[in-house]
C-alpha cells in the first residue's frame, strides 16, 4: 500500500513537473524554431534583393563608362558604333538605325527597326539592351509580317551622372 502511495506521488510529481517545465520549454523551442526559420527566410530574401541591386548598379556603371567623357556628338557616334557592332552578328534585314542627341537627363536617343524571324529579332532586342551598349530600352514593338516579324525599338542613353 505504501508502495502504491509512493508510486502515485511520484506519478503526480512527474505530471506536475512535465506540465510546469517540459510543456513550456517545448512551446518555447517551437517558437524559437519559427523565429529562426523566419529570420533565415528574411536573410535569403535580403541577399537576393542585394544581388539584384548590385547587378543593376553594375549594369548602370558599365553603361555609364561606355559613354563616359564624350561630347554630345561623340556620344552619338559611340552609341551608333556600339549599336552597329551589335547589328553585325544579327541575322535580320531591312535595318534602319537613327541615333540623335537628346536633352538631359539623356545623352542620345536610338531608333531601330528591323525585320526577320521572331527568334532572331528577339535576340537582337536583347543584345541591344545589354549594358555594354549603353542603351536603355524605352519602347519595343514587335508586329507580325508575312515572313517573320518587324521590330521597332526606341531607346535612350543616360547622360553623365545618371
If one compares 134 and 61, the residue with the highest pLDDT of the two is 134
- With respect to residue 102, please indicate whether it lies within any of the assigned structural domains: yes
CATH code (residue 153): 3.30.70
**CA dihedral of residues 10, 12, 15, 18 (deg, nearest 10):** -50
Residue 160 has pLDDT above 70, yes or no: no
pLDDT at 161 over 50: no
Please tell me the predicted confidence (pLDDT) of residue 107: 82
Q: What is the pLDDT of residues 85-98, one digit of tens each?
A: 888 888 999 999 99
C-alpha cell at 137: 530600352
User: Is residue 73 one of the residues assigned to a domain?
Assistant: yes
- Please write the tens of the pLDDT for every residue from 20-73: 888 888 888 888 899 999 999 999 999 999 898 888 777 767 666 655 555 667
Domain assignment of residue 31, yes or no: no
In a domain, 127, yes or no: yes
Assess if residue 32 is contained within a domain. no
> What's the pTM value of the predicted model, to 2 decimals?
0.56
Asked if the structure places residue 48 within a domain, the reply is: no
Which of 144, 142, 162 is CA-nearest to residue 154?
142
Give me 122's grid cell.
528577339
| Percent of the chain clearing pLDDT 90 (strictly above) | 33
Domain count across the chain: 1
pLDDT over 70 for what percent of the chain?
Answer: 89
Radius of gyration, CA atoms only, the chain: 32
Residue 138 belongs to what domain range?
Answer: 67-158
Q: Looking at the domain assignment, is residue 14 inside a domain?
A: no
Amino acid at each position: 500500500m505504501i508502495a502504491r502511495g509512493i508510486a502515485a506521488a511520484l506519478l503526480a510529481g512527474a505530471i506536475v513537473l512535465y506540465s510546469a517545465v517540459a510543456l513550456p520549454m517545448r512551446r518555447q523551442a517551437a517558437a524559437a524554431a519559427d523565429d529562426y526559420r523566419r529570420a533565415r527566410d528574411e536573410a535569403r530574401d535580403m541577399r537576393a534583393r542585394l544581388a539584384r541591386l548590385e547587378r543593376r548598379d553594375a549594369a548602370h556603371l558599365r553603361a555609364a563608362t561606355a559613354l563616359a567623357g564624350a561630347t554630345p556628338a561623340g556620344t552619338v557616334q559611340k552609341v551608333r558604333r556600339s549599336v552597329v557592332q551589335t547589328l553585325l552578328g544579327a541575322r535580320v534585314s531591312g535595318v534602319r538605325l537613327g541615333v540623335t542627341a537628346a536633352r538631359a537627363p539623356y545623352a542620345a536617343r536610338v531608333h531601330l527597326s528591323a525585320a526577320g524571324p521572331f527568334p532572331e529579332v528577339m535576340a537582337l532586342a536583347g543584345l541591344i539592351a545589354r549594358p555594354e551598349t549603353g542603351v536603355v530600352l524605352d519602347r519595343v514593338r514587335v508586329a507580325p509580317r508575312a515572313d517573320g516579324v518587324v521590330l521597332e525599338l526606341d531607346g535612350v542613353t543616360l547622360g553623365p551622372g545618371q
